[in-house]
Amino acid sequence: MDALIGWIPGIGDVIAAFASLFIVVAAWKRGAARITLVRMLLNLTVENTLGAIPLIGDIAHVAWKANRRNYNLLMRDQQSGRRHTWQDWLFVVGVCTLMCLLFLAPFVLLIYLFKVHRLY
Could you tell me what percent of the chain has a pLDDT over 90?
21
pLDDT on residue 14: 81
Instruction: State the pLDDT at residue 77.
Output: 87
Q: State the virtual CA torsion across 45, 56, 3, 35 in degrees, nearest 10.
A: -20
Q: What is the C-alpha to C-alpha distance for residues 79 and 42, in angstroms, rounded to an integer?
A: 21
Cβ atoms of 50 and 57 closer than 8 Å: yes
Q: pLDDT value at position 29?
A: 93
Whole-model pTM above 0.75? Answer: no
